[in-house]
Amino acid sequence: MRLFVYGSLMQGQPAAWRMAEARRIGPARTVDGFALFDLGEFPGMQRAARGTVYGEIYEIPAELLPALDAYEDCPTLFSRETIRLAGDSEAIAYLFRGTTTSDERIADGRWGPA
């Protein structure tokens, strides 16, 4: 299955080691309709009227999903949903379930060191 990651699980980020059993396909972005928020130590993606989020696509083995769900605190803090990506493809992604503010929104949709 394909997983879109946009934060701490991306290559070069603190939790990238959790993706060791997955195969990185490459960079990707969502279709218009998503926003990225800075939640402190990690980002959160939510559906929005406008916006694109940038990240990476991985092919993950089904056995890895329970560990990733636990890491993402799914379904409490994040929900796992199928989303559309640019180029007319789909992947699962973790969407933040909490409340966000416009001040926390990352305008360019990219997470990473400043």
pLDDT exceeds cutoff 90 at 82: yes
- Identity (one letter) of the amino acid at 4? F
Average pLDDT, the chain: 95
Contacts of 77 (CB under 8 A, 6+ apart): 96, 97, 98
Domain hosting 77: range is 2-104
Q: Is residue 45 part of a domain?
A: yes
Gap between the Cα atoms of 68 and 30, Å rounded: 20
Q: Does residue 98 lie within any of the structural domains? A: yes
Residue 73's CATH number: 3.10.490.10
The total number of structural domains in the chain stands at: 1
Whether residue 114 has pLDDT greater than 60: no
pLDDT score recorded for residue 41: 87
Q: Judge whether 20 lies within some domain.
A: yes
Tell me what pLDDT residue 112 has.
78
Tell me if 97 is assigned to some domain: yes
Within-domain flag for 109: no
- Measured between alpha carbons, how far is 23 from 47 in angstroms, rounded to an integer? 26
Which of 44, 39, 19 has the alpha carbon at shortest distance from 95? 44
Residue 11 has pLDDT above 60, yes or no: yes
Average pLDDT over residues 18-25: 96
Q: What is the DSSP letter of 31?
A: P
Stated pTM of the model: 0.95
